[in-house]
């Protein structure tokens, strides 16, 4: 059956071990985690996890139900429209020719996040597919390291 990419926004009690319950559920039942981000929701006792997963429709339905079944799960937001963004950091040696880099950063909502005598670190925040493209395009500057954050999403 066809594999579908799905973004899940999961609201859980912000308590000890809750992340292990979620990651253990995915591991134990053989579900995929393509990316996972987690942070507390301000002024509440809750945390939000954004999980990007994939599977066929039956598997995705089970993932949502199994997440609901966990005692500390408050809410699983699976449908509707999400604004989904991801952040990437790329380290490039200073001896590269930076011709065109500025234009590329502009095109991907990017900026230079840090620099020293040996390299610069550029940062972009964009849709996950555009991050894919950016990371392909940036290769021509021979980056020495790349880090992706995984998606964060907000339902609208």
Binding footprint of another protein on the chain (CB under 8 A): 12-13, 16-17, 20-21, 24, 28, 45, 58, 61-62, 65-66, 68-69, 71-74
Residue nearer to another protein on the CB measure, 17 or 80: 17
Long-range CB pairs of 20-23, under 8 A, 24+ apart, other chains included: 21/70, 21/72, 22/49, 22/51, 22/67, 22/70
Residue nearer to another protein on the CB measure, 38 or 125: 38
Give the nearest distance from C-beta 25 to another protein in angstroms. Answer: 8
Residue nearer to another protein on the CB measure, 65 or 106: 65
């Amino acid at each position: 059956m066809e594999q579908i990419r799905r973004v899940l926004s999961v609201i859980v009690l912000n308590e000890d071990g809750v992340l292990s319950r979620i990651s253990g559920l995915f591991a134990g039942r053989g579900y995929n985690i393509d990316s996972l981000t987690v942070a507390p929701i301000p002024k509440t006792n809750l945390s939000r996890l954004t999980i990007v997963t994939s599977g066929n429709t039956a598997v995705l339905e089970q993932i949502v139900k199994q997440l609901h079944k966990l005692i500390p799960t408050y809410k699983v937001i699976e449908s509707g429209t999400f604004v989904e963004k991801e952040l990437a950091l790329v380290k490039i040696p200073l001896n590269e020719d930076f011709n065109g880099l500025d234009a590329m950063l502009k095109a991907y909502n990017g900026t230079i996040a840090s620099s020293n005598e040996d390299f610069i670190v550029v940062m972009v925040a964009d849709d996950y597919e555009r991050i894919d493209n950016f990371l392909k395009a940036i290769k021509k500057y021979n980056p020495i390291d790349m880090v992706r954050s995984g998606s964060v999403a907000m339902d609208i």
